[in-house]
């Protein structure tokens, strides 16, 4: 009846002493019982004894689990027959049968050897203790002299036998479990239920006695109430399981985690053992769900749960908090060990997960809080691990241990997110425009719209600070909608002024799933009577690493409208040349990292030259961004770069300044040439 393996047989403790006493006394009695039964004359074994023994073994195969905290073997139905044997034929056959049954049941479920030894031993001792009561009242049946007629008055000492049997059984198990911290609380919680079940089973034993004495052939009828009792208990058990487990992954749920945390805190209070709590969140899970469907999302969660379980120790407690959020309690470990386990969890996901032929790369962020440093109650510890997870995600560090600093960061970020929502409502976002200039004749190829947030207190909040936040929080579609609307409005205003100014709008990877963006742009252009050719979308090269099919489909739909696509930040995203060739884009933008390094480093200049040549081979114009000096401008010109953008040409400007700037310089005749030749070649390949 033991479930914990956290006590050592080599050191002295209450638990180990109880174990040794139970095993030594129990097994000695067993050997003695075996001898007594084996040497008894065969004529003593009548059909009643045989039937009782058979039913006992049958029932042993229906173990009954009782609630949280107890032996997975729980109350055993066969106890009714063990007790009946004790009452009719005395202690030896009862011990032989209880030992055989206990060993068989334990081996069947593959228990560890020391649990098998203990269980058989403690059941034997419990039965023998019951027999002591019979000795005291002078009732000493045996195989030779079975119990005579069973009378009403016998009930009083029989009850005492039950109580003693139950008390010894419970006491021995409690003794061994005293090392596992949760036992006491679990026992108190379930005591009433457990006791009631045990006595319900024991109460059947006089019936077994009477039937065995007078009508042994009727004995199997007793299986009916016992099996019914078994089913009822199973049902309540599976209901309890449902209430504490997550149906999808089979892991504990939030409720069960809270119980486990309580146990961990109790064990900390008693033995001072520190422990860690992880809150784990998958990165980009929403994208998987949205783009590949909930079914794949569910499968992914199941696989992640498996890997989580495999990368922690058997004593650690893994739970699913809901959605793509998990938690792990790492028991009895200091910070360095806790962090090592967090590292193992992340490593376990280095290998992509294969689902229906798709290889999915999963990354997760882990927030760590440690008892007692970061909290000594469940709510605080969970909240702090949550905050740390949030910071791990924001900083892309992957793993973060809670600190007061974390709190500040996350409060800042949460505050910012709230204000960003407000800013969207209040129309506090505006666009600045930065020209792209042709190196051929210095005419304007177009302008790039860059979002600006005028914050009432913080002043100007740069997009790098709130775009990633918006992408992660799911308000990105609203933000993009606002930016696209503002850009189209400005384009329409320029048209009214007789200027045809192509505008490039930045879109996030999260915008490139589904039809939303395409629909928004199509209707926006239509309402304002704008030609689609005037609009360009800049997508970062990093998107190319994502789901090729979905991205290609969205980009192709946009291009079919007439919108052109620019591949932004080129050189930082490791896109393969194969992928690049099939990607429906019309322009490459060389990342400013290379441009700014170009003048100092021949390697960087070499990369820029190679990218320009690559663009031309693919039939695309190359635009260099971040051009800050005349020297860079000239170098790019000499390398054959088609366009430049940067402070040397112009900084991003509010719309009125941008209007003046463009008016003074004019717009190129064919600002955004389409990549027709290459596109049709790749479309042919795709067919």
Contact residues: ligand C2E, CB under 6 A: 434, 450-451, 462-464, 467, 483, 506-508, 538, 568-569, 592, 625-628, 646-647, 652
Minimal distance in Å, beta carbon 6 to Ca ion?
A: 55
Helix (H, G, I), strand (E, B) or coil at 373: coil
CA end-to-end span of the chain? 66
Return the number of the residue (339 or 592) whose C-beta is nearest ligand C2E.
592
Question: What are the distances in angstroms from CA 224 to CA 11, 221, 270?
Answer: 47, 6, 46
CA atoms within 13 A on the CB side of 68: 20
Is residue 587 near Ca ion by the rule CB under 5 A? no
Question: What are the distances in angstroms from CA 140 to CA 131, 145, 524?
Answer: 8, 8, 97
Report which DSSP code applies to 189. Answer: H
Minimal distance in Å, beta carbon 650 to ligand C2E?
A: 8
Is residue 538 near Ca ion by the rule CB under 5 A? yes
Which helix (H) or strand (E) covers residue 100, if one does?
helix 91-108
Nearest Cα residue to 423 out of 449, 391, 461, 471: 461
Is residue 253 near Ca ion by the rule CB under 5 A? no
Is residue 281 near Ca ion by the rule CB under 5 A? no
Measure the CA–CA gap between 463 and 453, rounded to whole angstroms: 8
Nearest Cα residue to 312 out of 353, 343, 285, 272: 343
Write each residue from 41 to 70 as x if it is in contact with Ca ion (CB under 5 A), else as -, in one continuous string: ------------------------------
Return the number of the residue (130 or 652) whose C-beta is nearest ligand C2E.
652
Minimal distance in Å, beta carbon 626 to ligand C2E?
A: 4
Which residues lie closer than 8 Å to 47 by C-beta, 6 or more apart? 216, 217
Return the number of the residue (66 or 508) whose C-beta is nearest Ca ion.
508
Measure the CA–CA gap between 670 and 436, rounded to whole angstroms: 13
Which residues lie closer than 8 Å to 202 by C-beta, 6 or more apart? 79, 80, 83, 162, 165, 166
Number of residues that bind Ca ion (CB under 5 A): 4
- Binder of residue 450, out of ligand C2E, Ca ion, none (CB less than 5 to 8 A by kind): ligand C2E
Is residue 511 near Ca ion by the rule CB under 5 A? no
Report the residue number whose CB is nearest to ligand C2E.
Answer: 646
Select from 49-57, 266-274, 324-332, 563-571 the region that touches Ca ion (CB under 5 A).
563-571
- Binder of residue 316, out of ligand C2E, Ca ion, none (CB less than 5 to 8 A by kind): none
Minimal distance in Å, beta carbon 257 to Ca ion?
A: 43
Task: Give the one residue of 569, 586, 587, 632 binding Ca ion; rule: CB under 5 A.
Answer: 569
Is residue 541 near Ca ion by the rule CB under 5 A? no
Minimal distance in Å, beta carbon 244 to ligand C2E?
A: 43
Is residue 506 near Ca ion by the rule CB under 5 A? yes
Minimal distance in Å, beta carbon 670 to Ca ion?
A: 21
Show the beta-strand stretches assigned E in 290-443. 317-322, 325-330, 353-355, 358-360, 364-371, 399-401, 429-438
Structure tokens, 333: 């470990």
Backbone torsions φ then ψ of 121, nearest 5 degrees? -65, -50
Minimal distance in Å, beta carbon 558 to ligand C2E?
A: 15
Binding residues for Ca ion restricted to 373-412, rule: CB under 5 A: none
Report the residue number whose CB is nearest to Ca ion.
Answer: 538
Interacting residues with Ca ion (CB under 5 A): 506, 538, 568-569
């Amino acid at each position: 009846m033991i479930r914990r393996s956290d006590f050592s047989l080599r050191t002295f403790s209450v638990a180990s002493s109880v174990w040794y006493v139970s095993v030594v006394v129990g097994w000695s009695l067993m050997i003695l019982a075996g001898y007594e039964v084996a040497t008894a004359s065969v004529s003593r074994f009548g059909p009643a004894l045989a039937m009782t023994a058979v039913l006992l073994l049958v029932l042993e195969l229906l173990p009954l689990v009782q609630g949280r905290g107890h032996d997975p073997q729980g109350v055993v139905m066969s106890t009714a027959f063990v007790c009946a044997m004790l009452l009719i034929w005395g202690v030896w056959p009862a011990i032989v049968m209880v030992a055989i049954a206990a060993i068989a049941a334990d081996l069947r479920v593959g228990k560890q050897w020391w649990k098998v030894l203990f269980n058989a031993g403690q059941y034997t001792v419990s039965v023998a203790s019951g027999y002591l009561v019979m000795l005291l009242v002078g009732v000493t049946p045996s195989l030779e002299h079975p119990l005579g007629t069973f009378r009403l008055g016998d009930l009083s000492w029989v009850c005492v036998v039950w109580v003693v049997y139950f008390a010894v059984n419970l006491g021995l198990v409690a003794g061994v479990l005293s090392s596992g911290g949760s036992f006491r609380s679990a026992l108190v919680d379930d005591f009433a239920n457990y006791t009631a079940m045990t006595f319900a089973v024991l109460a059947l034993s006089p019936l077994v006695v009477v039937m065995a004495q007078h009508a042994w052939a009727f004995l199997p009828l007793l299986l009916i109430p016992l099996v019914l009792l078994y089913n009822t208990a199973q049902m309540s058990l599976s209901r309890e399981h449902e209430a504490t487990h997550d149906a999808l992954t089979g892991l504990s749920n939030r409720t069960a985690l809270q119980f486990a945390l309580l146990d961990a805190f109790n064990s900390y209070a008693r033995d001072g053992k520190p422990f860690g709590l992880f809150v784990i969140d998958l990165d980009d899970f929403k994208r998987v769900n949205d783009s590949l469907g909930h079914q794949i999302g569910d499968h992914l969660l199941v696989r992640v749960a498996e890997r989580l379980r495999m990368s922690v120790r058997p004593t650690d407690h893994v739970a699913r908090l809901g959605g793509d959020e998990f938690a792990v309690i790492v028991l009895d470990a200091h910070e360095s060990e806790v962090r090592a386990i967090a590292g193992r969890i992340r490593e376990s996901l280095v290998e992509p997960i294969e689902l229906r032929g798709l290889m999915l790369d999963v990354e997760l962020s882990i927030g760590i809080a440690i008892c007692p440093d970061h909290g000594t109650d469940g709510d605080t510890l969970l909240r702090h691990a949550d905050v740390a997870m949030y910071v791990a995600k924001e900083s892309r560090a992957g793993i973060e241990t809670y600190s007061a600093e974390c709190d500040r960061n996350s409060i800042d970020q949460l505050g910012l997110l709230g204000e960003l929502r407000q800013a969207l409502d209040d129309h506090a976002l505006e666009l600045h425009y930065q020209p792209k200039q042709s190196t051929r004749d210095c005419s304007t190829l177009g302008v790039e719209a860059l979002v600006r947030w005028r914050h009432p207190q913080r002043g100007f909040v740069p997009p790098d600070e709130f775009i990633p936040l918006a992408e992660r929080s799911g308000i990105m579609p609203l933000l993009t909608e606002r930016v696209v609307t503002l850009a189209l409005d400005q384009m329409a205003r320029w048209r009214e002024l007789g200027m045809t100014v192509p505008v490039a709008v930045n879109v996030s990877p999260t915008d490139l799933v589904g039809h939303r963006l395409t629909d928004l742009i199509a209707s926006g252009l239509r309402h304002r009577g704008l030609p689609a050719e005037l609009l360009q979308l800049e997508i970062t090269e990093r998107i190319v690493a994502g789901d090729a099919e979905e991205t290609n489909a969205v980009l192709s739909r946009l291009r079919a409208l007439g919108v052109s696509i620019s591949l932004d930040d080129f050189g930082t995203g490791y896109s393969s040349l194969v992928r690049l060739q099939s990607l429906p884009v019309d322009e490459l933008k060389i990342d400013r990292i290379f441009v700014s390094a170009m003048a100092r480093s021949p390697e960087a200049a070499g990369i820029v030259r190679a990218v320009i040549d690559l663009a031309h081979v693919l039939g695309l114009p190359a635009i260099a961004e971040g051009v800050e000096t005349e020297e860079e401008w000239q170098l790019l010109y000499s390398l054959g770069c088609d366009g430049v953008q940067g402070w040397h040409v112009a900084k991003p400007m509010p719309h009125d300044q941008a209007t003046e700037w463009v008016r003074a310089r004019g717009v190129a005749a064919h600002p955004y040439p389409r990549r027709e030749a290459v596109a049709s070649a790749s479309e042919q390949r795709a067919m």
